[in-house]
Structure 1
Amino acid sequence: MGVATLAACGGGENGLDSSTTVTVGTPASIAVESAASYDDNRYGLISAKTLRGWIDNWSANKPAGISGKLVVLQVAAGPSGRQYIKGDDSNVFVYLEGGWTEDRSNGVIKTSTMVLTGAKVDDLLARYAIDPRKDLVVCAQGSGNASNAMTQGRCWYTLRYWGVDARHVAVLNGGNQALGVDDGSTWTSEHFTSAEVSPRLNKRVASVQDLGVDNTVLQATLEDVINVLPLADHNVLDDGVFIWDARSLAQYSAGLRGASVNDIPANDASALAASFQNNGSRQGHPRGALQLGYDQLIDSATGKYKSKADLAALLAGGTTPSGQGFTDGQLALLGNGKAYQKGDVVYTYCETAMRAMITAIASSVVLGLPTRVYDGSMIEWNSLTRTQDRSGNWLIPADSRWRTDVLSWYRLNPTPANVAPRTDASIVPTIVDAYAANAGAAIAADKTYLRAKISSGSGSGSGSGGDSGTPSIPSNPCGG
């Protein structure tokens, strides 16, 4: 990893020490590899058994290196009788927090469901008085299902993107209904409550600016994706890049396939039409992308991830018992040894970077593979197409360097009346500058925010201690 050294400044007005360096993370340094058994993890993907031990006696059982409290952020309520994990409001706090995305512009296009700005993350930390240098934050699903697992992934992604140390972020494997069910732990009705009981503290104790870490590389921009595409729609094994489409095979193939490579729809026109989302102009995939749906990694009924061994087998090119595996642009299964290659950086996306949260957890948090998330995803990518919207207006000029139709395998929307405009400010995505010099405006703004405290010598939090930069992280089973 690289270290950017900035001019030293004095302490802030709240008495905080100001870091003089910002440690710049890499996809490899951000990733953490899980233990073979999730029960042995003390950060990353943790089990119900581990969380139960923490809740029962946080003071005695908290991981080494954690000096603060345990904060569980459920992205949704759980089922009846298990709506919320119960905290003690002294050492263990539980909150409902599902706001992990916002609309943002990269300079070329404004896109929905992007990573939160630093100011909004700091507001979230203040809402619950979280100090990410001391506390351990657990991102939980509530009701366990694929949708909540996606939002749970956004919680992890946001915190790691903004520099929270891996040892201070955990992802609970499975929803509330699955806790204590065939997992070697015991959960009773006493461990749940029907209402949120932890008070909102609304006390700013820390800012992401205090962390001294820039992990913005976790997000791949539109330009980053363009720059790593191969020259043709083929799987290239020695280019150091693994582009993972987390959507359905039907979307990836623009309706040419259904649930599997052998499933050829009887009505091609209907299958193509059914593959569209969000009034997009086309369907298909960036050239060189490989497809394996997020739903092959997780049990949608419980929100639990498959075992590390099963996930590793899929990334190597294996298949599920039903024959699902990575598929290439020729709509053929890759086969063992022809999928992820050692040293590849994973670039993962879906339609709106929600399903891609599940693939990112599997690759970065379980398997420890260097991973980047194309946050704009296909809702952005497909918007940059030289075709007409429902009013007959061109979505993007013919001479824009940001045209992605020339970089993709695709089929146009068979119903032009369904193609939403992309130059109407009231509709997101919105193309804001088809001739922008670069697509890094949001990342640049985030980098500036991370360094604002160092530049000004002022801080927004209080207290002291915690990690500065990203030191070497010990293996997950050690927990410290």
Structure 2
Amino acid sequence: MKLKYLITFSLIFFQIVNCKGLPEYLFLPQSMKFDLTPFLFRVYSPAELATLSNTDFNLNDSGLITSTKFSRFLSNWSNNRPAGVSGNLVVIQVQSSGSSGRYLFFDGKQSFAYPIANLPELLTDTRDDGVLAIDGLAPKGKKISDFFGLYGIDPAIDYVVFAQDTSSLANLSSATFAYYSLLYWGYPKERLAVLNGSIADLTASNALFTTPSYTYANSNRGGSTKTLYRDHTVLQLTIGDLIHSIKNGNSIFDEVDPVPAEGFFIIDGRPNASYTGTAASTASGSKYSNCTTKTNSTFASNTCLVTYEGRIKSATNLIPTDLYDGTTFQFKSFSQLQTYLNNTGYQEGKQIYVYGEDATRGSLVWFILHQVLGKPTRLYEGGWRQFGALGLRTPTSGSSPSAISQPASYWRTDIATLSEVNTSNADANVPNYQLDIGRQYVKNSNKLRTEDKAFLRGSSSAGASSGGGGAPSGGGGNACGG
């Protein structure tokens, strides 16, 4: 560690001596010929990325904010923005099904608002972790950079709020997953927020003032989280990390995180019927439209069912519908949320592994645990759609409706040491996908995080899209020539 800092300071000294007259706005490492990226990146822990809310949500400047704080931001962003924030206010108004027809006032100079009907298309991807391709995961680096460019967001300075347009579970979970995605890609938690309540309901109660017309405006700038030199990828829990912990570190997997020294606690963030294995869980992947005509693929189906129902070994249930009001879709009070967590038997200090049916729905419970109650929490994005898909199924009638065909596969999950309940779904409801033998015995499920770490540490042109022109965000070219 000392050698690392010695080399870094030596290079900085060399830069100061040999490069005079640099513009003050240039970020030093980007003005040098040396690639200091490996030295400058900071890898954050789940605890460092957690946010402990005020017991009075009205006092929050980030994380979960209320209409009280939000309306102050909108009324005079220059004077009312949180300490340490120098950029624009950008509001993403989430519309998953229809529009309220109400739009926020913004000045188009320091505040901007965007009603978005296709947020999942912009901030999710179908991605392959090396075991099984799953849809609805946090997007690739280029996609997140394109998002910043499309909506004029500079992650180095701007403040982003995700707000439901109308009150619905789809809008709320889309907002929490978008928050998760930006945080995962290095966006500072101090400049991210989810509005508690919807634009439509808060307008009706006179907590917000809106207009029935909307005109698109863009700040003509954008940026990349690469310039932040922050690695938040620990937020994603891989299936390899999960199984390795359940086996108390006695797995043969490569590139898995060690079992947390403080211990871990698994929370199933699905409705109780799913937790107890009495409700059907849809499989993952958009390739299939139904289960009557099956085609071999590495993808599961979003209209078919997973191989079996149940829950991950030792998981306790935190029912998502307990966390919010079913009409307004506002989160319940801090004390109520804390009580629900206490009722799971959680022991303070342990790292939480949380999962839902899929990444988007799991993100709602993750948001409460990590960004409201301040607990060190990682999201298993694959969720039950992946875990429940990896069950053994004996071929019937010449078909093989299962991801796992080898009883000794490293990734078979329907065994007593890894899961509980384990109720098989009918063959007719399980898509006909089968992993090749290589995948069933591969030792690494860390492909996504490896790709994302490489993107963050890559050159500024490595697959990124920075959007329009405008002010520099984090530096410029090589001021020393060459």
TM-score (norm 1): 0.77
2:422 is paired with a residue whose SS is strand
Q: In structure 1, what is the equivalent of residue 64 of structure 2?
A: 45
Instruction: Describe how 1:108-127 pairs up with structure 2 within 5 A.
Output: 108-127=131-150
Distance 1:464 1:352, change over 3 A: closer
Structure 2 runs not aligned, ≥5 long: 20-24, 31-36, 249-260, 281-301, 476-482
**Deviation, structure 1 residue 463:** 1.6
Map 1:26-425; keep pairs closer than 5 Å. Answer: 26-76=45-95, 82-97=101-116, 98-99=119-120, 100-179=123-202, 186-188=207-209, 191-195=210-214, 197-200=215-218, 203-229=220-246, 240-255=263-278, 278-317=304-343, 326=344, 339-388=345-394, 392-393=399-400, 394-396=402-404, 397-406=406-415, 407-423=418-434
Partner secondary structure for residue 383 of structure 1 = coil
Q: CA deviation at 1:246?
A: 1.1
**Offset of residue 101 of structure 1:** 1.2
Opposite residue 222 of structure 2, the aligned amino acid is V
8 Å contact from structure 1 (residues 107, 432) kept in 2: no
Contact 1:214 1:447 in 2 (8 A): yes
Higher relative contact order (CA 8 A, sep 6+): 1
Q: CA deviation at 1:82?
A: 4.8
- Taking the aligned partners of 1:400 and 1:187, their CA distance within structure 2 comes to 55
Contact 2:146–2:465, Cα closer than 8 Å, also in 1: no
- Give, as a single letter, the amino acid of the residue that structure 2 aligns with 1:301: T
Q: Post-superposition shift, 1:86?
A: 2.7
Alignment match, 2:255: none
Distance 2:131 2:199 in 1: 41
d(CA) in 1 for partners of 2:245 and 2:328? 36
Which runs of no fewer than 5 residues in structure 1 stay unpaired?
232-237, 258-275, 318-325, 327-338, 425-429, 467-480
* Equivalent position amino acid for 2:62 in 1: Y
Q: Give 1:192 deviation, angstroms.
A: 3.2
Aligned equivalents of 2:388, 2:395: Cα separation in 1: 12
**Residues 76/381 of structure 1: CA separation in 2 closer, same or farther (3 Å cut):** same
Shift in CA distance, 241/128, structure 1 to aligned 2, threshold 3 Å:
same
Distance 1:158 1:356, change over 3 A: same
Matched-pair contact (CA < 8 Å) for 1:389–1:417: no
Q: Give the 3-state SS of the residue equivalent to 1:295 in structure 2.
A: helix
Q: 1:239 to 1:194 in 2, by over 3 A?
A: same
Cα distance in 2 between the residues matched to 1:351 and 1:77:
19
Which of 428, 451, 457 matches 2:457? 451
- Percent identical residues: 31
- C-alpha separation between the residues in 2 aligned to 1:294 and 1:384? 25
How far did 1:205 drift? 3.1
TM-score (norm 2): 0.77
Matches of 2:395 and 2:329, distance apart in 1: 38
- Structure with the largest fraction of helix: 2
Q: CA deviation at 1:455?
A: 11
Instruction: Give me the whole-angstrom Cα distance separating, in 1, the residues matched to 2:279 and 2:164.
Output: 34
Inter-CA distance 220–309: structure 2 relative to 1 (3 Å threshold): same
Contact kept? 1:144, 1:300, Cα under 8 Å: no
The Cα RMSD (Å) is 3.2
1:194, CA displacement in angstroms?
4.1
Cα displacement (A) at 1:277: 7.1
Q: What amino acid is the match of 2:162?
A: C
C-alpha distance 415-50 of structure 1, shift in aligned 2 (>3 A): same
How far apart in 1 are the matches of 2:86 and 2:137? Answer: 31
Larger Rg: 2
User: CA contact under 8 A between 1:279 and 1:420: conserved in structure 2?
Assistant: yes
Report deviation, 1:87: 1.8
- Number of aligned positions between the proteins: 406
